[in-house]
Amino acid sequence: MRSRLIVFALGLMFAHSAWAQMPRGTVHWSLFPGFSNHGVLEMRQEYRASFNLTAGTTWQVRGLEISGLSSYNYRYFSGIQISGLSNVSGGYNAIQPKEKIDETFRGIQAAGVINKTVGSAVGAQVASINSVGGHITGFQWAGLFNYARSLQGVQLAGLFNSAPEGISGFQIASLFNYAGAQSLGIQFGLFNYCKTAGFMANPSNLFGDFYQIGLINMAGVSNGNQIGIINISKKNKGVPLGILNVDASHGYSSLRADDLFLGNLVISTGSRFYLNTFRVGYNFSLDGAPVCGMSYGLEQMWKEQDLIPRWYFVTGVHLVQLKEKDVKLLKSGRLLRYEAVYTRKVAKGTFIEMGLALNYSLHNPQPAEQGFLHQTSQKIWPGLILGYRL
C-alpha cells in the first residue's frame, strides 16, 4: 500500500513538472477550441503564431494571434493579438490565484468588444472595453470604458476611465475620469475625480504636477491645479480656477448690512489663492433703494497665523446686479464694487465684520428712467459694511 502511495505521489510530481515545462510549438490553428492541429494539447503549448477561425484557446503565445471571434491565453501573451470580439490573457491567475503571475500581457491587443488582461500589462489595448487587472504601462483606447488597477501612460475613452490605485499620465474621457489614489498627470473630461491630486503644491504659480480640466473637478487633497466651472476639494493646496471653488479648508459665510442692502447673506468658498464670493441682499421695501440684488466676486484673504485665528482681512471686487422697484431686472442698476473687510474675534465663537466699500456704476439711465442709480445721479460713491460672521 505504501509503495502505491509513493508511486502515485511521484506520478503527481512528474505531471506537475511536465505541466510547468510545456512543450513549444510553432504555429497553432483551429476551427474552435479543442479542434486544432494539436487537439486539446493546445492548452498545454506555447506557440509563435495562432490562427483561429472562430475562437482559440492556448497556454501562451509569443508572436501573432488572429481569431474570428475570440482569443484566450491561459498564462501569457506577447506580440500582436487581434480578434473580432474579445481577447483574454492570464486566465491562469483566476484559476490559480495562489500561483498568480504578475505580468500576463505584453504587446498589442485589438478587439471589437473587449480586451481583458487578468494580470499586469505592458503595451496597448484597443476595443470598446479594455480591462487590466493589475498595473498597465502603456495605452488604453476604448470606445466606452477603460479600467486598470493603476496606470502609467494614457487612458482614452468615449465614456469612462478608471484607475483605483492612481495614475501617472493622462486620463481623457468625454464623461468621467476616476483615479482612486495619489496621482500625477492630467485628467480631462466633463467630470474628474482624484483622491490625492499631485505630490507637491507650487504656492507661486500654475505650474504643478497634476491638472484636472473639466466641467466639475473633484479631489480629496489637491496639490495640483483644477480648471473648470466647479472645483471641489476637501483640502486644496494648489490653484483652482473656476466660477465656484469649494474647499472645505477655506471660505466663510456671514450676515451683513451695508450701503446697498440692510440684509445680506454672503457665502465665500475657494482656496488660499482666491475666494469666490456670492451674495444675495434685500432691503425690506425701503423707498428709493433697490428691493433686492445679487453679486459675484473674487476675493483675497489674509488671516492671523494661528491654529484658531483671531482676525481676518478680506479684499475683493464684486459685480452687483440690483433689482429696483417697478424696474425690470436687466434695466435695474449694475455696478462694480470694491470691498475691504476686517473681521475680529470679540468673544468665543463670535466674529464681527467692519469694512469700507467703493461703488462704480456700470449703468447709464436715460432721463425718462426711474431707479436708484438715476436718483443718486452719481457714478462713484463710498459705502460702509457691518456684519457678523457665521
- Please indicate, yes or no, whether residues 323 and 375 belong to a single structural domain of this protein: yes
Question: Hey, what amino acid is at 318?
Answer: H
Model pLDDT, residue 35:
87
Residues 259-280 as b or e (16 or more Cβ within 10 Å = b)? ebbeebebebbbbbbbbbbbbe
Query: For residue 385, what pLDDT band results from cuts at 50, 70 and 90?
Result: very high
The model's pTM:
0.75
Looking at the chain, the whole-number percentage of residues with pLDDT higher than 90 is 50
Check residue 339 and give its pLDDT. Answer: 95
Here the CATH number for the domain that contains residue 276 is 2.40.128
Q: Which amino acid is at 304?
A: E
Q: Which of 214, 246, 278 is the last residue before a domain boundary? A: 246
Please tell me whether residues 279 and 236 are part of one structural domain: no
- Domain of 133, in residue numbers: 12-246
Residue 258: inside a domain: yes
Q: Do 315 and 300 contact (CB within 8 A), yes or no? A: yes
Domain count along the chain: 2
Tell whether 368 is covered by a domain. Answer: yes
Closest by CA to 170, choosing from 198, 139, 131, is 139
User: Where is pLDDT greater, at 310 or 338?
Assistant: 338
Give the DSSP letter string of 149-195. Answer: EEEEEEEEESSEEEETT-EEEEEEESSEEEEEEEEEEEEESSEEEEE
Q: Which of 246, 276, 310 is the last residue of a domain?
A: 246
The per-residue pLDDT for range 179-236, each reduced to its tens digit, is 999 899 999 999 999 999 887 655 545 556 889 999 999 999 888 889 999 999 888 8
Q: What is the DSSP letter of 329?
A: G
The amino acid at 368: A
- For residues 111 and 87, membership in a common domain is answered with yes
Q: Which residue has the higher pLDDT, 362 or 72?
A: 72
Q: What is the pLDDT at residue 313?
A: 92
Domain end residue (candidates: 222, 246, 270): 246
Q: pLDDT at position 331, please?
A: 73
pLDDT digit string, tens, across residues 257-276: 998 899 999 998 887 778 88
pLDDT band at residue 36 under the 50/70/90 scheme: confident
- A 10 A CB-CB count for 8 gives 10
Which of 41, 40, 50, 77 shows the shortest CA–CA distance to 62? Answer: 77
The answer as to whether 7 is a domain residue is no
Tell me the C-alpha to C-alpha distance, in Å, between residue 307 and each of 223, 280, 303, 304, 311: 21, 31, 11, 9, 12
- Cβ(293)–Cβ(320) under 8 Å? yes
How far is residue 61's CA from residue 75's CA, in Å, rounded to a whole number?
A: 9
Residue 64 confidence (pLDDT) above 70: yes
Which of the listed ranges 136-145, 201-210, 303-312, 325-334 does the model predict with the highest average pLDDT? 136-145
pLDDT digits (tens, 9 = 90+) for 42-52: 878 889 999 99
CA distance 124 to 121: 8
Residue with cell 483652482: 240
CA 168/CA 13 separation, integer angstroms: 44
pLDDT at 386 over 90: yes
> pLDDT, tens digit, for every residue of 156-177?
999 999 999 999 999 999 999 9
Assess contact for 299 and 277: CB atoms under 8 A.
yes
Co-location of 190 and 239 in the same domain: yes
